[in-house]
Structure 1
Amino acid sequence: MRAARLSRGGLWLLCCGLLALLAASGVAAFGFGAARIPVSHVFAIVADALGLGSGTRNWTPAERNIVMELRVPRVLLGAAAGAGLAAVGAVLQVLTRNPLADPYLFGVSAGAGLGAVVVILYAGSLAGPLTLPGAAFLGALLAMALVFAAARGRQGAPTSERLILTGVAVAFVLHAATNFLITTSLDRGADAVMFWMMGGLGAARWSSVPVPLALSCAGIVWLMLRAASVNALAFGDDTARTLGIDPVRLRAEMFVVTALMTGAIVAMSGGIGFVGLVMPHIVRLLAGGDLRRLLPLSGLFGALFLVWIDVLARSAFAPREIPLGVVTAAIGGAFFLWLMRRRREP
C-alpha cells in the first residue's frame, strides 16, 4: 500500500489544522472526568484565565480549581508525552531501519523507570521536585550507555542490529530489577509505583509540567533540524559517509536526545506504551517515510491521541481511573495487528 504524497503547502496546511484541532481538543478535554463540567463553563473559565472574559462568571470556584489546577496541567502533560513519544519512535525507526523500534525497545524507558522507582520507594518525602525527573534522566542515560557499551563489536562501532538486540536484553534486565525492588518493598509506596508503572497523568500539576513540556518541544525541534541527516542513515552508513555524515556520532547524538526526552516523559507519566510505535506508522500512510514530514505530523498525531485516550481513561469508569498504559496497549496493539494483517502479502 502506497503512502499518499503531501506537497509542502499541504504539509503546512495539515500541521496548522492539527494544531487547531489539538487546541480545541485540549479545551474540550478540560470538562471530562469524575466531575463533569459543562463545555460552556470550560470555555468561560479558560477565556477568563487568558484575560478574554466577558465579565459574566457562570461557574463555581470549585469548577475553576478543577479546570485550572488539575485538568489544564494534565492535558498539557498528555500532549507533551504523546508528541514526545511519537517523535522519538519516528526517529528510532528511521535511525535503526527497524519498523518495530520505539522508546521502549532500547532500554531507555526501562532505565528511566528504574531510576524513578528507586526515588519513589526509597527517597519518599525527602525528594525535591526535581529529584524524580533527575533520577529518570540518569536512569535513561545509564541504560543507553550500557546498551552502547554492550553492543560494541570488534570494529568498535555498534551496528543497528546489535543495538536492537542489546537494547531488548538490557530492557529485560532493568525491568527485572525494577520488579524486584517493588516486590521486596514493604512500604506503601509500592502500590503507587504499580499504578505509575502502568502509566497515568493523574499526578500532573503545574510544578511537574514545565520539564517534560520544555524537553519534548526542544527535543522535537532539535530532531527536526537533524532530520535530513538521519534520513541519509536509512540508506546505510556507507551512503551517509559519502554525504559527509559521521554515522557513529550522529547515532550517538540522536540516542542521547531521545533518551533525555523519554526520561522526562517517563518520570512524570510512567510507562505509556505503543504511542511511539503506532503513531509513526499511521503518519507514513499519509506522508511517507521522509523524517522531515514524519516528525511534525507524528508529534501532532501523538499529542491528539494521548489527550483523548486520557479522557477515555478517566471518564469510562469514573470515578475510578484506568491506567493510561492499559488503554494505549489495548488500542495500539489491536491497531498494529490490523495494520500488519492489512499489509500481509498474499
Structure 2
Amino acid sequence: MDAPALRARDLRAHPLRRLVPFAALCCALALLGGCSGSGSSREKDGPTTAQAAVPMAVDDLQDGYLKVIKDVLPSVVQIQARNDLGSGVVYDGQGHIVTNAHVVGDERTFRVTTANSEDELTARLVSSYPDQDLAVVKLERVPDGLKAATFGDSSKVEVGQIVLAMGSPLGLSSSVTQGIVSATGRTVTEGGGNGGTGATIVNMVQTSAAINPGNSGGALVNLDGKVIGIPTLAATDPGLGDSAAPGIGFAIPVSTVKSIADQIVEDGRVTDSGRAALGITGRTVVNDDYRAAGVAVVEVQAGGAADKAGLEPGDIITRLGDEDITTITSLAEALAADKPGERTTVTFTRGGGEKKVDVTLGEQ
C-alpha cells in the first residue's frame, strides 16, 4: 500500500466557504453497574467502591479538559489573508503571532480575530520561513487582555499523551478537537502545489486529533496547557482519490517553532536555520522503465558543499550516506536528518560510471 500523500492545502480554509449546520452525534460514556442477575442485596443497595470511582475519574478528566481550554483558547487566533483562512498562536505580549508560512502565503497584511472578541485587528508580516513552513505576524494594535500561550518541551512529548487541537477549522473560530500523540519524530514533506511550501520538516508530531481546513497555524496542546506543536499537515490517501485519511495529522514540533519564531522576533528573519544543504539545484530523473532513479544536478552553488566536493551539473546523485536517493524529495528528507558541518558521502554517476565523494554539508 502506498504511503499517504501529505499536502498543506488540506489544512487551509477558503474565507468565503459557508457551512450548513447539522446535528452532530457526541460520544457519551455509559457507566454500567453489575449485571449478574443474582439479585443480591449488595447489588441492589448501590454501586461498589470501584464502580463509584469511575464517574469521579471521568469528572476529573473533564475538569482537566475544561481548564486547558479556558487557559489556552484565548491565545489562539483566526488569521484571514486575501483568499485563505487559518489560525495562529499568540507568541508574546507584544502582539507577535506564530503561524504557518502557507497560511500567510505572499500576503503582507492580515485580518486577525482573537478568541474573546469579534472585532477584527490588523496584523502585518514580520517574516516568513517557507523551508520550515513557519511565519510570524505582528498586530498593529495590541488589545487589552491579549494572552501569550505557554510553549512546552519537545523532549517531553510522548506517544499516547492526550492532546487538544485548537484553531478555526472551516472558519469555525475557537474550535477544539481531542486525540492523542500517535507518533513522534516523523519526517514529512509537504506538497509544493496548491499553496503548500514543499518544505521537508523533521521530528513532526503525529496526532489523531481531528485536523481540518483552517486548523493550520493553530495549537496542539497537552493537558498541562502547553503548546507542543503547530498543526500543519493532514494526510490524504492516493488510493481513495486523495481523500482525507481520518486521524492522521501532523504538527511542527515546539522546539522548531520556538527556534524559528525567536529568530524572527529578535532579528526580523531566520539567521540560523540549522538545516543541512548540499548547495545544488536538482531534479528527479527516471530510468528506462520510467521509474525515479536519482537526482540530476542542474546547478551547483559557488562555494557550497557540492562545489567544494567537486560535484558538477549533469551528475546524478543516487545515494547520500546510507540513504538511497531516487527523487528530489528523498534527497530533501535525507538532508533533513543531517546537520550543517557534518561529513557524509555522496554517491553519484558521471559519464555512465559510479563515483563517490566525501562532502562537508553546508547550511540552507
Task: Give the TM-score normalised by structure 2.
Answer: 0.24
More helix by share: 1
More strand by share: 2
Larger Cα-atom Rg: 2
